């Protein structure tokens, strides 16, 4: 994880010592760039992203210019543009059709739960909590057109939301949120709120988030969220030699295949990893919702699903 203090020490102080001329002018574009970058990193840590309430803006420079997105892909048979690899936010960067398939698979899981749990499927108002660049939400476009569904999405990262704003039809009501547990929707507004791998990252205020999502759900509405349980714990343990596991997890949790704690919260800000034992997740979430199911991870995933209803 980036450490602004050591960055500052290493680059800025050395730079000042070695490079500033007696009249304190920066000597070259490169020197100016080093200072600019350092200051932007310091701002990112200490101003725009304080520990408990932040979002990730488009950048941390004083002048923020329009993002130069890579041209989205056109995929045969797909009506909507597909984000270029770097805008898929880690999901199948090398394979656009796999990206679409995976999103559709996840959408179908949500849709089957909606069909099972709600009496009607016309004119539903749904929110993708942590929608990123719309990997799953995009697949509800057919419901928006044919069944008058209203589609909303929120994410704390400005860039994927900007991507949506720039390339997706205006039927997608998307906006940048923050880690403060508040959303700009009225009470009793949504029929369904779903989220893929969001509560796996919400270490701070997860309980306030549940209450905020409850507030904006209609009575009888569904909350469907993936979580990490002992299943994910085992999955990470089994992959403990992979760099993507080592770099993002506590060494303490990679010691044993069994999850011996009731819960385990690791990390800071967006790298946080949150684990609850299945029965503990049910017990805790039941304080706020009726927990209909804690589903085992579906085929393509290692995350369990909380399926809840607002009474």
Ligand X SMILES: C[S@@+](CC[C@H](N)C(=O)[O-])C[C@H]1O[C@@H](n2cnc3c(N)ncnc32)[C@H](O)[C@@H]1O
Please state the closest distance from residue 197 (CB atom) to ligand X, in A: 4
Q: Which of 82, 156, 164, 224 binds ligand X (CB under 6 A)?
A: 156
Per CB under 6 A, 107 contacts ligand X: no
Please state the closest distance from residue 11 (CB atom) to ligand X, in A: 28
Please state the closest distance from residue 284 (CB atom) to ligand X, in A: 18
Q: Which of 132, 152, 162, 301 binds ligand X (CB under 6 A)?
A: 132
Which residue shows structure tokens 């017990």? Answer: 283
Decide whether 72 or 130 has the Cβ nearer to ligand X: 130
Instruction: Using CB atoms within 10 Å of the CB of residue 25, give its burial: 0 to 12 exposed, 13 to 18 middle, 19+ buried.
Output: exposed
Per CB under 6 A, 136 contacts ligand X: yes
Q: Which of 179, 229, 273, 303 binds ligand X (CB under 6 A)?
A: 179
Q: Report in angstroms the alpha-carbon separations of 70 from 100, 147, 166, 168.
A: 18, 32, 12, 15
Per CB under 6 A, 273 contacts ligand X: no
Taking the C-alpha atoms of residue 236 and residue 234, their distance in angstroms, rounded to an integer, is: 5
Please state the closest distance from residue 253 (CB atom) to ligand X, in A: 18
Please state the closest distance from residue 56 (CB atom) to ligand X, in A: 7
Per CB under 6 A, 130 contacts ligand X: yes
Q: Which of 100, 113, 154, 222 binds ligand X (CB under 6 A)?
A: 154
Decide whether 220 or 267 has the Cβ nearer to ligand X: 267
By rule CB under 6 A, what string of x and - marks binding of each residue 75-94 to ligand X? Answer: --------------x-x---
How many CA atoms does the CB half-sphere of 101 hold within 13 Å?
Answer: 7
- Kindly state the tokens that stand for 240: 């403990």
Q: Which of 49, 87, 135, 150 binds ligand X (CB under 6 A)?
A: 135
Per CB under 6 A, 301 contacts ligand X: no
Residues 188-217, interacting with ligand X (CB under 6 A) = 196-198, 201-202
Instruction: Using CB atoms within 10 Å of the CB of residue 184, give its burial: 0 to 12 exposed, 13 to 18 middle, 19+ buried.
Output: exposed
Please state the closest distance from residue 213 (CB atom) to ligand X, in A: 10
Please state the closest distance from residue 231 (CB atom) to ligand X, in A: 16
Q: Which of 87, 143, 155, 191 binds ligand X (CB under 6 A)?
A: 155
Please state the closest distance from residue 229 (CB atom) to ligand X, in A: 16
Residues of this chain that interact with ligand X (CB under 6 A) are 89, 91, 129-130, 132, 135-136, 154-157, 177, 179, 196-198, 201-202
């Amino acid at each position: 994880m980036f450490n602004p203090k050591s960055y500052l020490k290493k680059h800025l102080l050395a730079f000042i010592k070695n490079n500033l001329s007696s009249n304190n002018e920066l000597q070259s574009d490169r020197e100016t760039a080093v200072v600019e970058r350092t200051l932007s990193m310091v701002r990112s840590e200490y101003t725009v992203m304080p520990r408990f309430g932040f979002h990730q803006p488009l950048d941390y420079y004083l002048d923020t210019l329009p993002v130069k997105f890579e041209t989205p892909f056109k995929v045969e048979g797909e009506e909507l543009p597909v984000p270029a690899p770097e805008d898929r936010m880690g999901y199948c960067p090398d394979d656009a059709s796999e990206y679409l398939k995976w999103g559709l698979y996840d959408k179908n899981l949500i849709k089957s739960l909606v069909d099972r749990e709600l009496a009607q499927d016309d004119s539903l108002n749904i929110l993708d909590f942590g929608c990123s660049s719309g990997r799953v939400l995009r697949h509800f476009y057919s419901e928006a057109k044919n069944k008058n569904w209203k589609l909303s999405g929120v994410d704390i990262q400005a860039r994927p939301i900007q991507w949506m704003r720039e390339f997706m039809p205006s039927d997608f009501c998307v906006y940048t949120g923050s880690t403060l547990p508040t959303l700009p929707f009225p009470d009793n507004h949504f029929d369904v709120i779903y989220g893929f791998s969001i509560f796996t990252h919400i270490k701070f205020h997860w309980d306030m988030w549940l209450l905020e999502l409850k507030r904006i759900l209609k009575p009888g509405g569904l909350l469907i969220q993936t979580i990490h349980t002992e299943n994910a714990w085992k999955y990470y343990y089994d992959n403990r030699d992979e760099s993507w596991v080592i770099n993002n997890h506590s060494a303490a949790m990679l010691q044993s295949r069994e999850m011996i704690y009731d819960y385990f919260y690791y990390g800071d800000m967006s790298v946080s990893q949150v684990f609850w034992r299945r029965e503990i997740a049910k017990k805790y979430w039941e304080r706020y919702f009726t927990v209909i199911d804690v589903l085992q991870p579906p085929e393509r995933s290692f995350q369990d699903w909380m399926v809840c209803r607002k009474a």
